[in-house]
């Protein structure tokens, strides 16, 4: 679960079949004092690319598909920065180390040719080892960083095991604001919502270096999410299946299926289509995500649905992982085991028509109470 930055934001109402809205008013804060994502939020950039510490949870999420200059090697990457707040009254340590902000990060690199999946994680108190600016995109956790440059490009740096990745991401479209009236609802609970900004296409160039070997020039396309929330799940929800799809015809799709304890799909699930200019063209809550197979992790013994088929608007796409084992087990940071990986996108005729990143959570354990 999904994220994760320049001058404009476009927002069209969801042209979808909607579940009935709760008649209860949306509270301004959670019982422990965190701000709730509520309708009517107006984004202001570059400030809203930065941190929002009055919300409990925030994430800056980057994924991408990269190729070597000769086209013979393919890589996928994920870099997610998390900020997690706790009530100030919960602090019991020394006043000199007092902080209510914890910064976590997950990094992963998929090497299709080398058949290897590298993973690393970070966990630090807010301050010198990790922080996020309040007025712009500038987030770091130790040597990992993401920063918006003066000309609108995003500079990423991360190291996973012996692999060092440095990228420049250039937005191909304005950022997209998902949801209705500035808020993305995730469930019947009116506090189960987030403010959700996305760059669905970022032209990506840079280098990937393994150990002492010469750096490999790489290029491709990335996806970026930024969200902030104080609650992501309603009662009965255990996790989600989330996909960021970049089709070769220029369309981008963002789909999330909020899964219930009985395996059903929550009616607040959604799929949205974005055109090549970054405009939301259509959204619906009536769609399907179906398992076309199953892969069981030899490490966690968790079974994940893959490949995964997505169907909406009379079209079907199958997301096929470029490596089956792209599972993250993050016991030292978030404590969550989940699957997140690079996929090929096939149409109903089996033709490759795009690339995707797929995130599968709540299969090893429920996520309720963790966000």
Statement: residue 189 has pLDDT above 90: no
pLDDT tens digits along 106-126: 999 999 999 999 999 999 999
* CATH code: domain of residue 183: 2.40.370.10
CA 347 to mean position of chain CA atoms: 23
Alpha-carbon dihedral of residues 175, 143, 243, 190, nearest 10 degrees?
Answer: -70
Q: How high is the pLDDT of residue 123?
A: 95
Q: How high is the pLDDT of residue 157?
A: 98
- In this prediction, residue 97 has a pLDDT band, given cuts at 50, 70 and 90, of very low
Residue 145: count other Cβ atoms within 10 Å of its Cβ.
17
What is the arithmetic mean of pLDDT over 160-164?
97
Statement: residue 176 has pLDDT above 80: yes
Statement: residue 17 has pLDDT above 60: no
DSSP 265-328: B-TT-EEEEE-TTS-EEEEES--EEEES-EEE-TTT--EEE-SEEEEETTEEEEEEESSS--EE
Report how far residue 124's alpha carbon sits from residue 183's, in angstroms, rounded to the nearest whole number.
29
**What pTM was computed for the model?**
0.89
Report how far residue 339's alpha carbon sits from residue 52's, in angstroms, rounded to the nearest whole number.
27
- In this prediction, residue 151 has a pLDDT band, given cuts at 50, 70 and 90, of confident
- Number of folded domains that form the chain: 1
Q: How high is the pLDDT of residue 240?
A: 94
Q: How high is the pLDDT of residue 100?
A: 81
Residue 117 host element (H or E): strand 116-125
Residue 279, in any domain of the structure: yes
Statement: residue 90 has pLDDT above 90: no
Average per-residue pLDDT in the chain?
Answer: 89
Residue 314, in any domain of the structure: yes
Statement: residue 1 has pLDDT above 60: no
Residue 225, token pair as written in the block? 């999410």
Report how far residue 37's alpha carbon sits from residue 263's, in angstroms, rounded to the nearest whole number.
27
Residue 317, in any domain of the structure: yes
Q: How high is the pLDDT of residue 351?
A: 98
Q: Give the structural domain span for 334.
A: 47-91+99-360
Q: How high is the pLDDT of residue 5?
A: 25
Residue 369, in any domain of the structure: no
pLDDT tens digits along 272-305: 999 999 999 999 999 999 999 999 999 999 999 9
Residue 261, in any domain of the structure: yes
- In this prediction, residue 89 has a pLDDT band, given cuts at 50, 70 and 90, of very low
Residue 235, in any domain of the structure: yes
Q: How high is the pLDDT of residue 99?
A: 58
Residue 246, token pair as written in the block? 């970049």
Residue 111, in any domain of the structure: yes
**Lowest pLDDT segment from 5-14, 173-182, 346-355:** 5-14
Q: How high is the pLDDT of residue 32?
A: 86
Residue 325, in any domain of the structure: yes
């Amino acid at each position: 679960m999904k994220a994760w930055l320049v001058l404009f934001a476009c927002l069209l109402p969801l042209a979808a079949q909607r579940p009935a809205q709760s008649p209860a008013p949306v509270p301004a804060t959670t019982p422990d004092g965190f701000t709730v994502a509520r309708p009517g939020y107006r984004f202001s950039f570059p400030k809203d690319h930065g941190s929002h510490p009055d919300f409990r949870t925030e994430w800056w999420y980057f994924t991408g598909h990269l190729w070597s200059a000769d086209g013979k090697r393919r890589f996928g990457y994920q870099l997610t920065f998390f900020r997690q707040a706790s009530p100030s009254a919960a602090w019991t340590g020394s006043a000199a180390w007092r902080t209510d902000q914890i910064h976590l990060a997950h990094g992963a690199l998929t090497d299709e040719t080398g058949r290897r999946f590298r993973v690393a994680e970070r966990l630090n108190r807010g301050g010198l080892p990790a922080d996020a600016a309040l007025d712009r995109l500038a987030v770091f956790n130790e040597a990992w960083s993401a920063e918006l440059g003066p000309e609108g490009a995003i500079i990423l740096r991360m190291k996973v095991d012996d692999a060092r990745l440095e990228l420049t991401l250039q937005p191909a479209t304005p950022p997209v604001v998902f949801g209705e009236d500035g808020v993305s609802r995730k469930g019947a609970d009116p506090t189960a919502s987030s403010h959700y900004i996305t760059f669905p296409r970022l032209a990506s160039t840079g280098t990937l270096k393994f150990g002492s070997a010469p750096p490999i020039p790489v290029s491709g396309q990335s996806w970026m999410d930024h969200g902030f929330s104080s609650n992501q799940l309603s009662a009965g929800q255990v996790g989600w299946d989330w996909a960021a799809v970049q089709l070769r015809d220029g369309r981008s799709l963002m789909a999330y299926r909020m899964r219930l304890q009985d395996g059903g799909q929550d009616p607040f699930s959604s799929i949205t289509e974005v055109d090549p200019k970054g405009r939301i063209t259509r959204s619906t809550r009536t769609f399907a995500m179906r398992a076309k197979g199953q892969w069981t992790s030899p490490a966690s013994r968790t079974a994940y649905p893959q490949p995964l088929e997505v169907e909406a608007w009379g079209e079907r796409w199958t997301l096929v992982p470029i490596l089956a084992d792209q599972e993250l087990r993050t016991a030292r940071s978030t404590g969550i085991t989940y699957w997140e990986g690079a996929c090929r996108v096939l149409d109903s005729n089996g033709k490759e028509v795009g690339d995707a990143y797929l995130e599968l959570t709540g299969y090893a354990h429920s996520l309720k109470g963790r966000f």
